[in-house]
Amino acid sequence: MSPDEIKALIKDVPDFPKPGIVFKDITPLLADARAFGAIIDHLAARSAKLRADGILAIESRGFIFGAALADRADLPLHLVRKRGKLPRATVSVEYALEYGTDHVEVHKDAIAKGGRYLIVDDVIATGGTAAAVAKLTLQQGGEVAACLFVLELGFLDGRSRLDGFAVDSMLVL
């Protein structure tokens, strides 16, 4: 399935989650087995030569793509969540939002010193969450092998917040 065919499945939802926002709904990609398979093929091809030791999948739709990639690449999957959602001891990092701050965290034993990790999410918009996960990875002594996304909202320039890291997006809008 071509990138253009996959891109055509993405639906615009005006005024969601608030007025003035055009939400990019990727759930049709999940409902189409050929499209989903092509996405995982793309992610697996991009990650094959990166010598990663694990995957850090960002809540929540990143879990879907991260889990499929972890299975395909035979790598451990670690979940990156908002504060208070993981059951065991965690490490976290605070990051800036447009109005205020938020936190992401991972289990304390997820990132090994010297380990190389793929950061995986469905969409990169402003890049703040992915940059926070990269910072958390480095703070724990890990390395960022690459940041992989299904969709990049290029007009928001989130890639610039990941300067110095390899970034790959299957689709750019």
Which of the residues are catalytic?
61, 98
CA distance 82 to 59: 7
Q: What letter does residue 116 receive in the DSSP assignment? A: E
Cβ-based burial of 84 (10 A; exposed 0-12, middle 13-18, buried ≥19)? exposed
Q: How far apart are the first and last CA of the chain?
A: 18
Instruction: Name the DSSP letter for residue 144.
Output: E
Cα(121)–Cα(136) distance, integer angstroms? 16
Partners of 139 in the beta sheet?
Answer: none
Close Cβ partners of 62 (under 8 Å, ≥ 6 residues apart):
80, 120, 121, 122
What is the DSSP secondary structure assignment for residue 89, as one 8-state letter? Answer: -
Handedness of CA 96, 98, 101, 104 (dihedral sign): negative
